Amino acid sequence: MKAPTTLALACILGIFLSAVAGAAPARFGQLTGNNQPPRPQVRAYVHQRVLPTLRQQRQKLEARLSDSDRAQLAVYRIQLQELRQRGQTLPRSFAPPSSTPATTPAAPTPEQQAQLQQLRTEIRALLREVDKLAQPYTTDIAQLAQEVKAQQDQWATDIRALTAQGIASADTRAKRHRSRAIRFFRPATFLLLQPDSAAATPPPAPSQVYPNPAHSTSQLTYEVAKAGAVTVELLDGRGNTLRTVAQADKQEKGPHTLTVDVADLPAGTYFFKISTRAGAETRRFVKE
């Protein structure tokens, strides 16, 4: 089996991260270091043939995750979405006010290049953190990958053929080959994928933070699905616990409201982590 092209590898990574963050694949691929946007045929193939199977396999892993890891993944997904939004708005902010869609964009200034590089660095740092979170589950992920090995071989063959279309010559195609296999089950991106059921069915009663952005106090409203112990923690932007803001041995089923003093927090992004008998949930807010 021939090695896939570098373009194929970059396409797959860009599309997988787009599936996680809801990003435009071309833009997000550029931010992750891939200067070639995924070909439309590859994008359509992955969405139709690859992602449904990966989500089904990811659903099998969900029950094996600890509540804390599941909550931490929710934080990472939110952070990835924020990076996606910056990746969409940052290049647009570089355009002169008088520019039109037909205008050829000017080359980024050194300052703008530094901003783009900083965004790439943050994306890679986030993926490294997810890699650490995935380490205890590498054996499980490898087993899930083995279950669909035949499909993976077919996907790799099809994607390799799609990415080779339109490349000018055999010499150019040869230069794009690398002795690496397409990894459909990269631990970080596989772990970040929403499982099949979670992608199809949103939570019925998500918690809410008001006001957002907050200044001196923040009001958290959350739902207790099963009566029992409840812990609410305040996390920093990287998901590290700063303090426990509420802890009860038992709270009754139903909606609850908690007022939290955040006056001492520096400006930035934070999360509330609500842990109940039904699982853990995180909610993002901004302190100004």
**Banded model confidence at residue 209, pLDDT cuts 50, 70, 90:** confident
| pLDDT per position as a tens digit, 147-190 | 999 998 888 888 888 777 655 444 444 444 443 456 788 898 88
DSSP letters, 64-110, are TS-HHHHHHHHHHHHHHHHHHHHHHHHHHHHS-TT--TTSPPPPPPH
User: CB 251: neighbour CB atoms within 10 A?
Assistant: 17
Q: What is the pLDDT of residue 4?
A: 41
Q: What is the pLDDT averaged over residues 53-72?
A: 89
Which domains can be identified in the chain, with CATH numbers? 6-199 (no CATH), 208-287 (2.60.40.2550)
CA distance 212 to 81: 17
Instruction: Give the dihedral sign, CA 56/59/64/66.
Output: positive
